[in-house]
Structure 1
Amino acid sequence: MPAARTVTPDGDVILLVSGESAAARAAAHAQDDDLTAVIEITDVAPVSVPHRIRGRAWLAGWLTHVRGDDRAACAALLAERRPVGELLGLHGRPSFVMLRLEVGEISVDDLWGAEHVDPEELATVEPDPMVNHETELLQHLAAAHRDRIADLCALLGPRESAGTTAVPLALDRLGLRVRFTGDGGSSFDARFDFPAPVRDVCDLRRAMHTLFAAAGHR
């Protein structure tokens, strides 16, 4: 598993891996399209809920070492995610190396369905503003506001909610997804869209208040 990863402005994926890893050894002498590789990314819900895997993505392409003048630029990109100077041996002998995956194909299978993604989109996509807060916020909602999350079922129209548990499953700038599970173990997901995309945690608080207020008036 990479210690860190990031995406370059050109859409390549930069991976920080142990110099002793199989990937690093295989890529040591690879040139251009010599070595093909697939990265599988699994998205697991940060709360206790049936069927916790929210999605998987597969990125296939060509793997090489990051060399020469590219090392400094790629290290700077990785450093935006986590400190990497010590791992890269900037203060001594390197224990980790950087690999580049030139992406040729992307497949995604998640809560919205399965589809192929144009690799060029990887270079232009922006992270969701909630990505760094989602885990903490979902865990807080599940621990401290589960009754209010369950009240959102009122927004779904006529539906039997007795004995149903509700757990917040996913959160992004556009809305909240909740998994409702009945006594018999059957479950369904419901998506609650915000009135407008949220830009930060302050926006999110207002959006959640609006959702809870709407559910309370049903």
Structure 2
Amino acid sequence: MQHPVTAAPIPERVRTLAAGAAPTHVSVPGSVLPASAVRGGVDAQGRPVLLVKPGEPLYDLADEIVVTVDLVATRTIDATDRARGMLKVRGWAQPVPGEDLRAAAIAIAERCPDEDLFAALESRGPRLIRVDVAQVVYLTGQESGVLDAEEYLAATPHPLLDAAERMLHHVNSAHRAQLVLAVAKLLGGPAPHAWLWELDRFGATVRTAPDHLIRLPWPDPVTSATELEQALACLVCAH
């Protein structure tokens, strides 16, 4: 009997986390400077792009410098943001070239909107600093490890990411009572704290407690948003 694939390959999962993650801190290895808070996002290639304001440590950067950027992906559970995973991206920071500024700003704005992006595009104060990836350390709560640049950059976020996020938010906000009943039936006991945590082409992950995640794979990987919606509907209506 062939068992279903339960989850995407690690590089795809890490790139998926990165696509929705926000930078929180940047540090310069070997420097006496402490890690500093930072804003920004991740571009279409998975590279952190930092929105740096005058007076911040990297603002006057002219040449490449090795940095480590912390990226955190969150999920809103009961009106509170909970960490889904943390990535530590080490690489070479340099100003985003002028010809790439607009694309980088648009990529950030789609996930992490910020009014200062417009000022950065117009060279009015803030600057955009891009980190070319050398290594990515990932910690998802259940798994941890290291990806080299080739593994990370060769992967892509899962292809149904945007549709999956819309569906997940819809279920958690409008159909959670049905989800709780369905998960209780699957587990054979009450699951009052069940929330959808992850949703992708291979299955769904349900959070039933702060440190307890349950993976529910689809019988076969889905290949379209319509198939994903149907699979999710079957899960939610399982009661």
How far is the alpha carbon of 1:82 from its aligned partner? Answer: 3.1
Corresponding position: 1:87 with 2:119? yes
Cα offset for 1:143?
3.0
Corresponding residue pairs, total: 196
Cross-structure match for 1:20: 54
Task: Map residues 49-68 of structure 1 onto 2, 5 A cutoff.
Answer: 52-66=82-96
Report if the CA contact (8 A) 1:45-1:170 is conserved.
no
Q: Residues 107 and 21 from structure 1, CA distance in 2 versus in 1: closer, same or farther, beyond 3 angstroms?
A: farther
Residue 77 of structure 2 aligns to a residue whose secondary structure is coil
Partner of 2:12: none
| 1:206 and 2:238 are equivalent in the alignment | no
Cross-structure match for 2:197: 169
Q: Where in structure 1 are there 5+ consecutive unaligned residues?
A: none
Q: Secondary structure at the match of 2:194?
A: strand
- What is the rounded CA distance, in whole Å, between the counterparts of 2:85 and 2:228 in structure 1? 23
Structure 2 residue 39 is the aligned partner of structure 1 residue 2 = yes
Aligned residue for 2:175? 145
Equivalent in the alignment of 2:5: none
**Distance in 2 between the 1:64 and 1:179 partners?**
39
Runs of 4+ in structure 1 off by over 6 angstroms are none
SS of equivalent residue, structure 2 residue 157: coil
Contact 1:24 1:97 in 2 (8 A): no
Corresponding residue for 1:125? 155
What's the CA shift for 1:145?
2.0
Per-residue displacement from partner, 1:49-87 (whole Å, max 9, x unpaired)?
899222111001222223xxx420353244345389833
For the 8 Å contact 2:52–2:129, the answer to whether it is kept is no
Paired with 2:138 and 2:151, the residues of 1 have a C-alpha distance of 13
Aligned to 2:34: none
CA drift at 1:118: 1.8
Any unmatched runs of 5+ in structure 2? 1-37, 111-115
Kept after mapping to 2: 8 A contact 1:49/1:167: no
**CA distance 1:171–1:88, shift in 2 (3 Å):** same
Structure ranking higher in helix proportion: 2
Distance 1:179 1:140 in 2: 16
Give, as a single letter, the amino acid of the residue that structure 2 aligns with 1:5: V
In structure 2, the residue matched to 1:72 is 99
Tell me if structure 2 keeps the 8 A contact 1:195–1:207. Answer: no
- Counterpart CA distance in 2 for 1:131 and 1:163 is 26
Quick one: which amino acid aligns to residue 51 of structure 2?
V
Counterpart residue type for residue 76 of structure 1: A
- Tell me the percent identity: 19
- TM-score, structure 2 length as denominator? 0.67
Map of 1:154 onto structure 2: 185
2:68 to 33, 38, 61: 38
1: CA distance, partners of 2:218 / 2:141: 18
TM-score normalized by the length of structure 1? 0.72
The alpha-carbon deviation at position 95 of structure 1 amounts to: 2.6
Give RMSD over aligned pairs: 3.1
The CA deviation at 1:121 is 2.2
